[in-house]
Structure 1
Amino acid sequence: MHDAHPGPTLALGLERTALAGHSYGAWIALHHALASSRVDRLALLDPTGCFAGYRPGYLLRALPMFLAPTPARVRSFLNWESRGARFDPAWPALQEAAAGFEKARPVTGPRPDAAALRDLRTPVLLVLAGGSRAHDTARVAAAAARVLPHAEVSVLPGTGHHGLHHFAAHEINEKVGAFIGSPRRAEGP
């Protein structure tokens, strides 16, 4: 595989690097890994748009927040998605404050091509939120296993999509740290 463009790894003077991303950030990291030979390891934390779609109920519940964001709508959505779990008060406040900013549309697109995913030789760690309302965790795990048979998959029970990094930070740090620090496995066929 040749790099489609030099990208940030070369600009930083790195020959290879590990990437990790959560949600849409995981979608970005996966697309970068597919376009670059410089990604040594890839950790995807409850990725969206990579292996399966969103649950329709999640999208319907999020729609008011996206169409006319207000702090109250953001708070209501996060409370619903997290099933009422208590966040560090600073995090929802930050999300609520962002509701008033002009929205730049993120660059999104289709799921990665299944054939391209099967050809990916970068070791992948997939950490899924077992209580995610964003998507069906079992469906995401099964879809990922079909296209990334050598991926290491871990499901953290009782965590939601938006609360994953709050309520499972210790487990995520351990899993990602061990994955990035482990010797590189032989690449698949």
Structure 2
Amino acid sequence: MSTTPTTASATDSAESAFFAAYDAALARWPAPTEALDVRTKHGTTRVNACGPRDGRPLVLLHGGGATSAAWSANVGALAAAGHRVLAVDLIGDPGRSVLDGPPLGSVAGLLAWLDAVLDGLGVRSADFCGHSYGGWIALEYALHAPKRVGRLALLDPTQCFAGFRPGYLLRVLPLLLLPRTAARARSYLDWESRGSGLDADLSEVYALGHAGFPASRPVTGPRPTPARLHGLATPTLVLVAELSRPHDASRMADAARAALPAATVTVLPGVSHHTLPTARPAELNRRLTEFLTAPNG
């Protein structure tokens, strides 16, 4: 398909605006950051790393469309606690990862890609923390490769323990319609956050990424079955956003406790699904570092 000069110019402008917002958000990271590019058969994966090189690796997996810049309020505390923080830009999503090879295609392909990223980083075992869609990926990876996952933190994860509210899916539907616009994404984030501390810079990264990158279908799969979850021995922390629009927080917390009786499950007050990492970072960072640094056994 040919691209007219006007269309190409508009695309370049949209991407430039997105990368400017992404770089500005990343510049807020309080710890010195190293950009690592890991080549796999699918393309190049960008990993933003900080913290001591000899620290325990901690892989951060962001929510859909949020990019690794979303962890700006958390990486400083996590690095200060001694972790080698490895924040991944999901390949195929907006960000600095480049999908120029075959698509992931399936859950098995997604997990094999993450295997290859860890191999490329020289990481044999790590702790994992995932938010939203990144929480689902982190949980699936712990089930796929339990020996590579030391501890698992899930922040308001989707499709792990409960489904989406029907009303939420109806509200999200306009995001899937063409043309994809930043204004539509901003409207969605304002609605979901309920005025509970949405970070303006990260909201702009999300909105411009939604508008400036070609739509790609994320790799998804069914929720893990109770039998699979009951076999998970990895120490797990589940933090649920009280004001989350995607699901009922109380019911989700109860479902997580039933699925993982040994897990620590807590509902965090006053935060929504999208604001959980940033609205009250001191409390979140304390809970994460206490969990990740607790003695084994």
Give TM-score, length-normalised by structure 1. 0.90
1:123 counterpart residue number? 235
Instruction: State the alpha-carbon separation in 2 of the partners of residues 140 and 85 from structure 1.
Output: 20
Matches within 5 A, 1:64-143: 64-68=174-178, 69-100=180-211, 101-143=213-255
Contact 1:24 1:48 in 2 (8 A): yes
1:26 counterpart residue number? 135
- Given candidates 24, 38, 46, the residue that maps to 2:156 is 46
Contact 1:74 1:95 in 2 (8 A): yes
Closer, same or farther in 2 for the Cα pair 1:71/1:10, shift >3 Å? Answer: closer
Instruction: State the alpha-carbon separation in 2 of the partners of residues 169 and 18 from structure 1.
Output: 19
What is the identity, as a one-letter code, of the residue corresponding to 1:138?
Answer: S
CA shift at 1:147, angstroms? 1.4
1:176 counterpart residue number? 288
- After superposition, the C-alpha distances for 1:28-48 in whole angstroms (9 at most, x for unaligned) are 000000011210100000000
What is the identity, as a one-letter code, of the residue corresponding to 1:32?
Answer: Y
- After superposition, the C-alpha distances for 1:70-110 in whole angstroms (9 at most, x for unaligned) are 11111111111111344332122112211222011111010
- After superposition, the C-alpha distances for 1:10-54 in whole angstroms (9 at most, x for unaligned) are 443333210000000000000000011210100000000000001
Structure with the bigger percentage of strand: 2
What is the identity, as a one-letter code, of the residue corresponding to 1:76?
Answer: S
Give TM-score, length-normalised by structure 2. 0.58
CA shift at 1:9, angstroms? 3.8
Deviates more, 1:21-30 or 1:5-14: 5-14
Deviates more, 1:165-174 or 1:39-48: 165-174
- Describe the SS at the equivalent of 1:133: coil
CA shift at 1:155, angstroms? 1.1
5+ residue gaps, structure 1, are: none
CA shift at 1:154, angstroms? 1.4
Contact 1:9 1:38 in 2 (8 A): no
Matched, 1:151 2:260: no
Higher-Rg structure is 2
- Describe the SS at the equivalent of 2:277: helix
Q: RMSD across aligned C-alpha pairs, in angstroms? A: 1.7
Instruction: State the alpha-carbon separation in 2 of the partners of residues 138 and 70 from structure 1.
Output: 33
Number of corresponding residues: 182
Identity across matched positions, percent: 48
Instruction: State the alpha-carbon separation in 1 of the partners of residues 238 and 196 from structure 2.
Output: 23
- After superposition, the C-alpha distances for 1:119-139 in whole angstroms (9 at most, x for unaligned) are 100000001101111101111
Q: Quick one: higher RCO (CA 8 Å, sep 6+), 1 or 2? A: 1
Matched, 1:61 2:174: no
